[in-house]
């Protein structure tokens, strides 16, 4: 993963289902605001959000925004 930007944004798209995953991973998705497959959200690029993104990176498509 790239180093977090100070004031950047990250666009996340859920590409795989959250069902059948660990409770902790489902909680990370809800914390990021993702509920449906192909739903896209934009979140702040903070260490807290990066930790959740790293946890469920196998379910997401991540795009860095400038």
Q: Using one digit for the tens of pLDDT, what is the confidence trace for 33-65?
A: 999 999 999 999 999 999 999 999 999 999 999
pLDDT of residue 1: 52
- Give CA–CA dist 10/2, Å, rounded: 11
Q: Domain locations in the chain?
A: 9-65
By percentage, how much of the chain surpasses pLDDT 70? 89
Q: What is the CATH number of domain 9-65?
A: 3.30.1390.20
- Of 5-14, 24-33, 56-65, which gets the smallest average pLDDT? 5-14
Structural tokens at position 51:
């930790």
Q: Is the pLDDT of residue 15 over 60?
A: yes
In whole angstroms, give the CA distance from residue 64 to residue 11: 6
């Amino acid at each position: 993963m790239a180093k977090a930007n100070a004031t950047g944004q990250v666009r996340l798209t859920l590409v795989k289902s959250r069902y059948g995953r660990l409770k902790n991973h489902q909680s990370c998705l809800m914390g990021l605001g993702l509920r449906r497959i192909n739903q896209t959200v934009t979140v702040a690029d903070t260490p807290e959000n990066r930790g959740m993104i790293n946890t469920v990176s196998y379910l997401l498509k991540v795009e860095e925004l400038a």
